[in-house]
């Protein structure tokens, strides 16, 4: 196995770009994937984010294409989100800086006019989200005949996001004779099925057991009763110097929670230190938030899971899961934002009573037990409000019903019927005349 990039027989242009990027030795996924890709084989890679998989397929792709040629793309990389597509395009440009290869990224969320103009100028590599690629292709601006390499990156996420119809259409319009590369963080039934349709006698590489967090990430779990206490704990962790939080992503499960946490941190730290990233924000705002965080202009990024995959930001010291993710695999992707490229990182999860179920499932998936820590003394533990407690109980009931369809919980029908009867009795007692009139009406109906 190659111990250095020179062992791959890369040309001088590629090796110089690798040296400029600060890479000294190939990561395990690069060691395993680069040789078969250089040989022209189809490859299926099971690799979590932060393992260097983008370079694993882009570097041999650049070697294969070598220099700008013709007007139409010879390589196509499909990714699930615009953020990841932009990230991949940035990497392609870094690795191809000593070549004249032309790269264009296309994604939704803004008009296609500029993207079409860039393609019409001539392109070698297109990085695209599935929907926008098909839009531009159907409008007649992309010619697929010259395509030699097709990459599906984060294939599992594309499935989760419902992109399968677009993926199937893309597979119909690209040439049959081509090299196919598929990368996924997990190996589900659906991915197996896609691989069967898409890959021919692939070389399968797996760099870590399925859905296993990076070894460089320390995981901690706090059982926290409610949202207010989560905020208090967040404040405490940010205030403690020994935590050495230099660069932090706070993950929230909904836009509303992300916005609330952001507004709180904004009051405490000000705009110069905090940005927020979620689907409700405009395209430019999202790009600016990521860039400001990448360039160390802000210390804290509050985000929903739209940002949990493919955002390659170095030196993230901590990830805090303000909420436990309901999609278990997202836990791996979230905490994979830290401890990247063999650096140490810390992932802290706040778990309320209704999230214990999901945390249990996550630990089963990652085949690890996350250490539980006691809430620090300085953190004020708030009483759980009535509405939040009801929401939690309702959620716990749903979880129990999932495990046991015969379960009758605190919110089952019989109890609700009894509550209605009690409520009606109270109303009759408070207003006898109204109750008598109602009873009369009911008799007439009978």
Rg of the chain's alpha carbons, rounded to an integer? Answer: 26
Residue 325 in tokens: 């993710």
Q: How confident is the model at residue 292 (pLDDT cuts 50, 70, 90)?
A: confident
Contact residues for 152 (Cβ-Cβ < 8 A; gap 6+): 78, 158, 167, 180, 181, 182, 183, 194, 198
CA 359 from centroid of its chain's CA atoms: 17
- Return the axis-axis angle of helices 189-198 and 164-173, rounded to nearest 10°: 10
Contact residues for 66 (Cβ-Cβ < 8 A; gap 6+): 11, 99
Q: Which domains does the chain have, with CATH numbers?
A: 5-206 (3.40.50.300), 217-383 (3.40.50.300)
Lowest mean pLDDT among 103-112, 138-147, 272-281: 272-281
The pLDDT tens digits of the residues spanning 316-355 come to 889 999 999 887 777 887 888 787 665 678 999 999 999 9
Maximum distance among all Cα pairs of the chain, rounded to whole angstroms: 95
For residue 152, which phi and psi values (nearest 5 degrees)? -110, 110
Q: How confident is the model at residue 421 (pLDDT cuts 50, 70, 90)?
A: low
DSSP 384: P
Element housing 104 (H / E): strand 103-106
The DSSP bridge partners found for residue 183 are 45
Task: Choose the most confident range, by mean pLDDT, from 54-58, 305-309, 421-425.
Answer: 54-58
Q: Does the pLDDT at position 414 exceed 60? A: no
Q: How confident is the model at residue 82 (pLDDT cuts 50, 70, 90)?
A: confident
Query: Which position has the higher pLDDT, 411 or 406?
Result: 406
pLDDT given for residue 163 in this prediction: 87
DSSP 47: -
Average pLDDT over residues 208-213: 56
Q: What average pLDDT is seen over the chain? A: 85
Element housing 77 (H / E): strand 75-78
């Amino acid at each position: 196995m190659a111990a250095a990039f020179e062992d791959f027989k890369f040309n001088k242009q590629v090796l110089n770009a690798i040296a400029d990027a600060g890479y000294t030795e190939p990561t395990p996924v690069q060691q395993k994937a680069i040789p078969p890709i250089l040989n022209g084989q189809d490859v299926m890679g099971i690799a979590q984010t932060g393992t260097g998989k983008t370079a694993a397929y882009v570097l041999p792709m650049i070697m294969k294409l070598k220099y700008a040629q013709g007007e139409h793309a010879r390589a196509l990389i499909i990714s699930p989100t615009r953020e990841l597509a932009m990230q991949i395009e940035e990497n392609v440009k870094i690795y191809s800086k000593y070549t004249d290869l032309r790269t264009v990224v296309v994604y939704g969320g803004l008009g296609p006019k500029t993207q079409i103009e860039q393609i019409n100028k001539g392109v070698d590599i297109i990085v695209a989200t599935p929907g926008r690629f098909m839009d531009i292709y159907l409008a007649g601006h992309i010619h697929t005949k010259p395509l030699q390499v097709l990459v599906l990156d984060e294939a599992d996420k594309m499935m989760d996001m419902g992109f399968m119809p677009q993926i199937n259409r893309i597979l119909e319009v690209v040439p049959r004779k081509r090299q196919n590369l598929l990368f996924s963080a997990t190996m589900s039934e659906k991915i197996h099925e896609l691989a069967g349709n898409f890959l021919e006698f692939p070389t399968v590489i797996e760099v870590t057991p399925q859905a296993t967090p990076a070894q460089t990430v320390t995981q901690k779990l706090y059982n926290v009763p409610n949202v207010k206490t989560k905020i208090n704990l967040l404040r405490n962790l940010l205030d403690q110097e020994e935590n050495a939080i230099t660069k932090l992503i706070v993950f929230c499960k909904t836009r509303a929670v992300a916005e609330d946490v952001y507004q709180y941190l904004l009051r405490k730290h000000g705009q110069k230190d905090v940005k927020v990233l979620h689907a409700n924000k405009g395209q430019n705002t999202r790009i600016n938030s990521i860039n400001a965080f990448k360039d160390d202009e802000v210390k804290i990024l509050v985000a929903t899971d739209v940002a949990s995959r493919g955002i390659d930001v170095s030196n993230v010291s901590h990830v805090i899961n303000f909420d436990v993710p309901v999609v278990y695999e997202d836990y791996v992707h979230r905490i994979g934002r830290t401890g990247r490229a063999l650096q140490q990182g810390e992932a802290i999860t706040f778990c309320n009573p209704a999230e214990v179920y999901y945390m249990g499932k996550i630990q089963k998936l990652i085949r690890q037990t996350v250490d539980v820590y006691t809430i620090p003394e300085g953190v004020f533990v708030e009483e759980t409000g009535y509405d939040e407690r009801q929401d939690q109980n309702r959620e716990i009931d749903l979880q129990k019903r999932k495990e046991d369809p015969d379960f009758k919980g605190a919110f089952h029908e019989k109890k609700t019927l009894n509550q209605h009867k009690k409520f009606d009795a109270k109303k009759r007692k408070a207003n006898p005349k109204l109750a008598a009139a109602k009873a009369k009406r009911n008799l007439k109906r009978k």
